[in-house]
């Protein structure tokens, strides 16, 4: 099950450069930081805020002004030209460069290098350090470096002692991409719990959990998560269809039918594959007539392709429902599309059962004309149809051919005197 890879926006990447740059950036920092501060560990005491030196600060200000005028390349060049000796200034400049480069398409790994240098060793102010750890996790996700993503999300949580639903969701995705399915589930559960506390359910951790169970072939657990998704997001058609499929996987066919039926009534089934699956479930549940009527409805609407295979499927469902006339009608439509003599044989046989003898004779003759196999069986059916119409001469002709077949000889011979007697009683010479 393919999952969407997280991708950072340019705006998020350039936020929070610190107190030395212009007021709008400082305001952005304040808005993005949690009210409880950057670190919430027990006994944490906020350290003194460090500022860049005067020389470095001037360059940083110039870079920010260039960035603010959409001269990003120039801003990066200004910062790369800075060669600070102070560890904090180095980390600060590396962080600023990394943020700017990260906002450019296709330069994630270059940005990653600068940002990684900015947090090793830990000299940045706590707010900037925590933001950068999380950003390194996000960039790792963007660059599909999933081991590093897990590492930096864990570092962010260890440093801040914070729990964040989005971080747990992204970490769960990184674990999923590494096929560490047993680790995905508890991580996704933490995201789910935090979202519940916030009263903001998010589908993504559920999907990750579901996918992990599915890939581990833990199908009953997969069903349970799929049920939760339907209950939380009942307007999502995909989740209903998936749930029905998972029910079939664990052979809970009654639940599969119920679920698909609900989806059908809600108007969620809008693909030909959905309708075919619904009809199949109806048929398997012992309601072939309902299956046939659904297929017929969507044949008429144009959703289902009007080809021989589809007509034959409808005919087969009507046949199972013992609705022989409708079954014969659709086998006739199938025969008209590709002239398969077998469709004419089936149509003729069903019309014979439905006591439409003239229709049966027409269809069975067409089967013979098109070279149907087992011609003797067709002749035997033609004998019956003609007999019941009172066409005893024709019936006698067909029984003569039918009795040449070893498998039919005994029955054909049994019919022969009966035909003669009926003809004699009606004054017909054979």
Handedness of CA 235, 238, 239, 240 (dihedral sign): positive
Query: What phi, psi does 154 have (nearest 5°)?
Result: -65, -40
45: exposed, middle or buried (Cβ count in 10 Å: 0-12, 13-18, 19+) = exposed
3-state secondary structure of 4: coil
25: left (phi over 0), alpha (psi -120 to 50) or beta: alpha
Among 223, 165, 15, 183, CA closest to 103: 15
Whether the Cβ atoms of residue 303 and residue 272 lie closer than 8 Å to each other = yes
| Distance in angstroms (rounded) separating the CA atoms of residues 175 and 223 | 21
DSSP state, residue 268: -
Q: Which residues of 51-62 are buried (b: 16+ CB within 10 A; e: fewer)?
A: ebeeebbebbee
Q: How far is CA 419 from the centre of its chain?
A: 62
136 with 115: CB under 8 angstroms?
Answer: yes
- The whole-number pLDDT of residue 156 equals 98
**From CA 145, how far away is CA 180, in angstroms rounded?**
14
Structural domains in the chain, CATH included, are 1-162 (1.25.40.10), 164-216 (no CATH), 374-430 (no CATH)
Closest CA relative to residue 377, chosen from 362, 395, 399:
399
User: What's the rounded Cα separation, in Å, for the pair 344 and 372?
Assistant: 9
For residue range 267-310, what is the model confidence (pLDDT) as tens digits?
999 999 999 999 999 999 999 999 999 999 999 999 999 999 99
405 burial level (CB within 10 Å; 0-12, 13-18, 19+)? middle
User: Phi and psi of 37, rounded to 5°?
Assistant: 100, 175
pTM comes to: 0.79
pLDDT score, position 36: 64
Residue 221 CA, distance from chain mean position: 18
Summarised one tens digit per residue, pLDDT across range 37-54 is: 899 999 999 888 999 999
Tokens of 96: 């600023």
Query: Of 221, 177, 176, 230, which is closest to residue 203 (Cα–Cα)?
Result: 230
In the chain, what is the greatest distance between 2 CA atoms, to the nearest angstrom? 127
Task: State the Cα–Cα distance between residues 422 and 383, nearest whole angstrom.
Answer: 13
Contacts of 368 (CB under 8 A, 6+ apart): 341, 375, 378
Residue labelled with tokens 């998704």: 229
Question: Six-digit token pair at 305?
Answer: 């392709």
For 69, the 3-state DSSP assignment is coil
Distance separating alpha carbons of residues 394 and 384, to the nearest angstrom = 10
Task: Cite the beta strand spans of 153-291 per DSSP E.
Answer: none
Q: Which residues of the chain have pLDDT under 70?
A: 1-36
Q: Are 281 and 275 in contact (CB under 8 A)?
A: no
Angle at 233 between CA 229 and CA 236, to 5 degrees: 100
**CA 52 to CA 121: how far, in whole Å?**
16
């Amino acid at each position: 099950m393919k999952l969407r890879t997280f991708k950072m926006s340019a705006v998020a990447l350039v936020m929070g450069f610190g107190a030395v740059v212009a007021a709008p950036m400082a305001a952005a920092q304040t808005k993005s930081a949690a009210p409880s501060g950057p670190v919430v560990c027990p006994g944490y005491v906020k350290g003194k805020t460090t500022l860049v030196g005067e020389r470095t600060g001037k360059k940083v200000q110039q870079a920010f002004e260039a960035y603010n005028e959409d001269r990003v390349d120039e801003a990066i060049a200004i910062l790369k030209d800075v060669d600070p000796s102070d560890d904090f200034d180095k980390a600060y400049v590396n962080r600023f460069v990394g943020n700017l480069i990260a906002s450019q398409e296709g330069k994630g790994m270059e940005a990653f290098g600068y940002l990684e240098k900015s947090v090793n060793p830990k000299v940045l102010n706590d707010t900037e350090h925590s933001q950068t750890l999380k950003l390194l996790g996000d960039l790792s996700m963007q660059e599909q470096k999933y081991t590093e993503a897990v590492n930096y999300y864990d570092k962010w949580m260890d440093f801040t002692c914070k729990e964040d639903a989005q971080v747990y969701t992204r970490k769960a995705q990184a674990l999923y991409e590494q096929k560490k399915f047993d680790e995905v589930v508890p991580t996704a559960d933490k995201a789910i719990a935090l979202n519940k506390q916030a009263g903001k359910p998010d589908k993504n951790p559920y999907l990750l959990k579901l996918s992990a169970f599915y890939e581990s072939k833990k199908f009953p657990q997969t069903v349970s998560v799929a049920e939760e998704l339907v209950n939380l997001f009942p307007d999502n058609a995909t989740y209903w269809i998936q749930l029905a499929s998972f029910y079939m996987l664990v052979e809970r066919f009654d639940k599969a039918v119920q679920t698909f039926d609900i989806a059908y009534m809600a108007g969620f089934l809008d693909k030909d594959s959905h309708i075919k699956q619904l009809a199949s479930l109806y048929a398997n549940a012992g309601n072939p007539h309902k299956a046939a009527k659904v297929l017929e409805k969507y044949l008429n609407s144009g959703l289902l392709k009007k080809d021989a295979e589809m007509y034959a499927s409808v005919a087969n469902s009507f046949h199972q429902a013992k609705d022989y006339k409708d079954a014969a009608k659709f086998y006739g439509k199938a025969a008209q599309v590709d002239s398969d003599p077998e469709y004419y044989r089936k149509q003729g046989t069903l019309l014979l059962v439905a006591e439409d003898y003239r229709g049966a004779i027409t269809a069975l003759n067409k089967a013979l004309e098109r070279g149907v196999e087992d011609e003797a069986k067709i002749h035997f059916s033609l004998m019956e149809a003609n007999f019941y119409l009172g066409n005893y001469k024709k019936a006698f002709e067909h029984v003569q051919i039918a009795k040449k077949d070893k498998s039919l000889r005994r029955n054909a011979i049994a019919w022969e005197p009966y035909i003669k007697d009926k003809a004699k009683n009606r004054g017909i010479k054979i």
